[in-house]
Amino acid sequence: MSKHHDHSFSGADEGPDADVQAGGADAAFEASEVEISKLRADLEDASDRVLRAQAELENFRKRTRREIDDERRYAALPLLRDLLPVLDNIHRAIAAADTSAGGASVLDGVRLIAQNLEGVLSRYDCKRIDALGKPFDPSFHEAISQQPTNEVPPGTVTLVAQDGYTLHDRVIRPAQVLVSTSPTA
């Protein structure tokens, strides 16, 4: 009886159910390999997209850097285009002075050039600092000397030795000035 029992037990392991279990394992293994192949393909595709995105980003950076460099390099172009006619007028004034003995016409030409140049600077928001008769302001003025006087209050600009200029709200060059002080007794 025990033999029969052992036989039926061992027969259960080797019966048709064992073949089904082995076939199911093979099918599961094949499904896993298909899934792994699909995941590998997805990974390769994702890696390829990442590499392309990195390349596009690097190209964008290079292009932007080139554009910024060009902007900096040619930023003065509009100003220079406006200054060239002023230079032309200076050359005309020099030529007129060479051929003419009249100093008044040369002086008038130079005044016209100065007005022309001031107009160009003004278009670019470059303005002369109005200093004469104003209180000394170290943000806009550079004192090169002091002058004792009773005519104006102490700390007043009495003479502008060299004009100063601002560009928008920034001082390009401070005005060099003489500043009044109280006369000594």
The model carries a pTM of: 0.57
Q: How far is 174 from 144, CA to CA, in rounded Å?
A: 11
User: Tell me: domain 125-185, CATH 2.60.40.10, correct?
Assistant: no
Q: Which residues pair with 176 in a beta bridge?
A: 142, 162
What pLDDT, in 10s, does the model give residues 99-158? Answer: 776 667 778 888 888 888 888 898 889 999 999 999 999 999 999 999 999 999 999 999
Cα atoms in the 13 Å half-sphere on the side-chain side of 134: 14
pLDDT computed for residue 24 by the predictor: 66
pLDDT computed for residue 102 by the predictor: 65
165 three-class SS: strand
pLDDT computed for residue 19 by the predictor: 57
Residue 174 burial class via C-beta count within 10 angstroms: exposed 0-12, middle 13-18, buried 19 and up: buried
CA angle 57, 75, 68 (to 5 degrees): 10
Between 40 and 30, where is the model more confident?
40
pLDDT computed for residue 21 by the predictor: 60
